[in-house]
Amino acid sequence: MSFIKIIILALAALMLIDLIVYLFVPRMRKTAAIFARIFIGLIFVFSGFVKAVDPLGSAYKIHDYLSAFGLNWLLPASLALGMLLNLAEFLIGFVVLFGVRMRLFSWGTLLFMIIFTPLTLYLAIKNPVSDCGCFGDFLVMTNWETFFKNLVFITCAVIVFSYRNKYNDTMLSGWFKNGIIVVGIIIAMGMQFYAIRYDALIDFRPWKVGNRIADQMVSIPEKADVYLVYKNTETGKEEEYTTETLPWQDSIKMSTIKFINQRKVVIEPSIAAPIHDFTISNSQGDDLTDSILNKTDYHFILIAYNLGKTNKESFTAINAFAKKCMNENISFIGLTGSSNDVMNSFASLTKPIFPIYFTDGTALKTVIRSNPGILLLKDGYVINKWPFRTLPSFEEFKTSIKKYDADYLKYKAQAKELKTTKL
């Protein structure tokens, strides 16, 4: 059983106890209602927070939903819808956690769960998108896990809603209650506007600083017990063996049984590599992935998933930076998901002095949200990354090399320790 399933079962048991107490132990009903309020408040705040720190990630997920449901006319509004959803979720949780304006905001928790619980059931059955995105890139859950998780949360929301008129906030002044709402809005929108202008406030993606890219391209194989089903030709009964218990050395026994099938019991399902289908190629179609990502020296990679939409004014400074890199034999290249025609049009405007190679645009969006953004790598490790607005000068980079050397050794030690732990 996976760790996520264990957590869901534990939360389900906890919420079942709280529901029983709320319904059948009158003297503890208030305590159960307060527990439910704090619990659902924390969940909403956390869920809203991990998405608000990366609103572009939310926009991409909304885009997937709209495409899956054939609502293509809404696709241009993906970012606005994602930001509003993040704001609503964070704000509802924030206010509920403080226990103010409960008559209003208890409706928010209930309506959220009433809408999303049936939606996640549909996703689990039809699977139009593989991940609901409930917790952004922080935690990826299957659609069935998400649905069962929502069954727990809707129970909590019902308790909070049914007790909404009894939560007491009369001792608090109106300006304080309204101030809580304003603060929640400022926090949620402030995080989102910062992330849009620069990059995700907290990076939960596989390309985050410190990760070794090669490790992120390895999937975890399935763990399963395989049983070989044989039929006894003398008795007609079916017998199961494993590869260890099969009496293959007993020729007499083997002559009396006939293989008919095999049965597999999955202990832990396979987990796809966090970075998959990521390749770098030139205009001739040559695969350059390994030779570029695993350079042993410091090297820079500019990421521009769409050259038609990239910030073209930034390339004056980027070209100057790249030229100084090349003067000191430090590799500087670009990656894009745009077509050859778009790249040629872009090149005629900005005159990039560095080579630009091709990668899937969707894959590049997971590297860095800024368009363009710049990565610093060494020996396959992400040492640092910058949105174009905060790219340091080449001189600042040079003075930071000792720090980057120390960071590289730290990341390498962490990767080695992680491998040892897994073994």
Report pTM: 0.86
384 by DSSP, 3-state: which?
Answer: strand
Distance CA 300, CA 318 (A): 11
Length of the chain: 423
CA 85 to CA 51: how far, in whole Å? 9
Q: Which superfamily does CATH assign the domain made up of 289-422 to?
A: Glutaredoxin (3.40.30.10)
Q: What is the pLDDT of residue 1?
A: 63
Domain boundaries defined on the chain: 3-197, 223-268, 289-422
One-letter amino acid of 16:
L
Quote the longest CA-to-CA distance of the chain: 88
Full 3-state SS string of 128-177: CCCCCCCECCCECCCHHHHHHHHHHHHHHHHHHHHCCCCCCCCCCCHHHH
Give exposure, 173-208, as e/b (b: 16+ Cβ within 10 Å).
eeeeeeebbeebeebbbebbeebbebbbeebbbbbb
Distance in angstroms (rounded) separating the CA atoms of residues 201 and 194: 7
* Phi, psi at 353, each rounded to 5°: -95, 5
Asked if residue 95 lies in contact with residue 105, where contact means CB atoms within 8 angstroms, the answer is yes
* pLDDT value for 315: 95
* pLDDT score for 422: 61
331-336 and 356-358 strand pairing: parallel
Give me the pLDDT at residue 419, please.
73
- Average pLDDT per consecutive 10 residues, the chain (423 residues; last block may be shorter): 85 95 95 96 96 95 93 94 97 95 94 95 90 88 92 96 89 89 97 95 94 89 89 90 88 90 85 87 91 94 95 95 96 94 92 94 93 96 96 95 96 85 62
Please report the pLDDT score of residue 174 as a whole number: 85
- pLDDT given for residue 417 in this prediction: 85
Question: Phi and psi of 105, rounded to 5°?
Answer: -80, -15
User: Is the preceding peptide bond at 206 cis, omega within 30 degrees of 0?
Assistant: no
Residue 273 CA: distances (Å) to CA of 137, 206, 218, 278 = 14, 10, 5, 11
